[in-house]
Structure 1
Amino acid sequence: MRIGGLQKISAIDYPGRVGCVVFTVGCNYHCPYCHNPDLVRPKGPDFMSEADFFAFLSERTHFLDGVSITGGEPCLQPDLADFCAKIKEMGFLVKLDTNGSLPGVTAGLIKKHLVDYIAMDVKTAPERYEPLAGPGLSPDTLVQSIDLIKNSGLPCEFRTTCVRPFVDEAAVHRIADLVAGAPLYVLQHCGKERMLDPEFFDQDPVIGAEEMERFKNIAQNRVERCIIR
């Protein structure tokens, strides 16, 4: 497992739990507003070894409930299943953050009971992903991931970072249709700190509070709960 960072304690990343957050290296998307550019385009050695991570975790068995695995994109890691299994063997819950581009990996984790909570970022309507993910990602793949996660029986959430030109009312309508029935849909404000492409903000892509409320009004009747974060 290539580890690019570790947040030793968090009370917000795993809903209802206190946990740590481990960041994996590498991503197959190039969202210009990504706030983890060092993980998307790593320039130096990994932050820590897997052995050091598990040594850290062994000292927190009485303090932490779970581990949130995020990135980058964790599903790109070839040993993700083994990594999750080791965490579970130590008695921790596992939360996976994913962009939904590799539903086969997610399905394998679900089937083997190696994940307890899943959060999927839905960037925009699946048909509008090409500027973010390139031409190789099929919209059907994203729809498959959404359906897989919704029907997994696991606690889950879907999240959209609201930023122009990728998110507008039409995109929110489409996403809300896809995630309909989900327990939680989160509309996220886009911050300006540590962007993958700082020049992206020269285009004034920030979406204001009033428009975010309109997005919430579109989605909130299609899911159990919709919040703005």
Structure 2
Amino acid sequence: MPSTPVVCAAASLRPIKVGGVAPFTATDFPGALAAVVFVQGCPWRCGYCHNTHLQPRTRAGAVPWTDVMRLLARRTGLIDAVVFSGGEPTADPALGPAIGDVRALGFKVGLHSAGTHPRRFAQLLPLLDWVGLDIKAPFTDYERVTRVRDSGTSARRSLEALLASDVDYECRTTAHPALLSETDLLVLARTLANLGVKKYALQLFRKQGSRDAQLNAISLAGYPSESVLDEMRGRFLSFDVRRG
């Protein structure tokens, strides 16, 4: 029997630039089996980034969007959702049409983002079922992590748009003592709680995949202290610590 043709709105415009696809994951969309589409491009240069190969945008992308759609069509009935990750998915102007293509297949859609492009992020929220938003640092100290001036303004605007929506979400922060002191963590927790964040996760730095020799050389033993974690935990409806 011939396969059903796959219509790709995203391919009829400027194609989304895909760096790779993970056909199955049980951890990237809460409570759902999903595939992950990794989108090329990110304007920030965080030292702990595990996907530095996705920061540049190549001319054509590594995987044609039509090929991605054919793969996802074959996953219908096997997975529940598709997550756009990166890189930074909102850096790609074709993300909206790509999300529309995925929804047309019947999948829920998730987004992993750092909020680099707040206007596009806000426009996409009505198309999303879940968002994992990376919060890098206290908003006035973002450059310490991203190495880009005024990046905290974009992140805060994206967070405010997310909290004003009805989209399910998780905010999460990667913690390393060279980038975020325990005082920084407490300041950030208070700030997020005061803004209305209910679901928050602290992800402790992992060496695997990081190309930053200075960060890799520093021990995380005893960081953060249990007293700091307890204080942070008390500020959120849901708080998780991920150690690797």
TM-score normalised according to structure 2 size: 0.85
Note the C-alpha offset of 1:18. 0.4
Note the C-alpha offset of 1:78. 0.9
Paired-residue identity, %: 28
Where structure 1 has 5 or more consecutive residues not aligned to the other structure, the ranges are none
1:193 paired with 2:212, answer no
Q: Match of 2:47, as an amino acid? A: P
Q: Match of 1:154, as an amino acid? A: V
1:131 paired with 2:144, answer yes
1:26 paired with 2:41, answer yes
Rg larger in 1 or in 2? Answer: 2
Task: Answer with 215-224 or 119-128: which moved more.
Answer: 215-224
**Is residue 2–residue 24 contact of structure 1 (8 Å, CA) maintained in 2?**
yes
The aligned residue for residue 69 of structure 2 is 54
Alpha-carbon distance in 2 for matches of 1:74, 1:214: 36
Alpha-carbon distance in 1 for matches of 2:227, 2:58: 40
Equivalent positions of 1:1-229 (< 5 A) are 1-41=16-56, 46-110=61-125, 113-180=126-193, 181-202=196-217, 204=218, 206-208=219-221, 211=224, 213-229=226-242
1:144-169: per-residue Cα shift (whole Å, max 9, x none)?
22222122111101111111222122
**Is residue 146–residue 179 contact of structure 1 (8 Å, CA) maintained in 2?**
no
TM-score normalised according to structure 1 size: 0.90
Q: What SS does structure 1 have at the residue aligned with 2:189?
A: helix
Q: Match of 1:208, as an amino acid? A: A
Q: What SS does structure 2 have at the residue aligned with 1:211?
A: coil
Distance 1:94 1:213, change over 3 A: farther
Alpha-carbon distance in 1 for matches of 2:68, 2:212: 30
Q: Match of 2:229, as an amino acid? A: K
**Is residue 99–residue 122 contact of structure 1 (8 Å, CA) maintained in 2?**
yes
Q: What SS does structure 1 have at the residue aligned with 2:224?
A: helix
Q: What SS does structure 2 have at the residue aligned with 1:153?
A: coil
Q: What SS does structure 2 have at the residue aligned with 1:30?
A: coil
Distance 1:68 1:11, change over 3 A: same
Where structure 2 has 5 or more consecutive residues not aligned to the other structure, the ranges are 1-15
Distance 1:43 1:192, change over 3 A: farther
Alpha-carbon distance in 1 for matches of 2:168, 2:228: 23
1:75-130: per-residue Cα shift (whole Å, max 9, x none)?
100111111111111111111111112111111012xx211111111111111111
**Is residue 17–residue 58 contact of structure 2 (8 Å, CA) maintained in 1?**
no
Alignment RMSD (CA, Å) = 2.0
Alpha-carbon distance in 1 for matches of 2:77, 2:187: 43
Alpha-carbon distance in 1 for matches of 2:117, 2:109: 18
Count of residues paired in the alignment: 225
Alpha-carbon distance in 1 for matches of 2:223, 2:64: 44
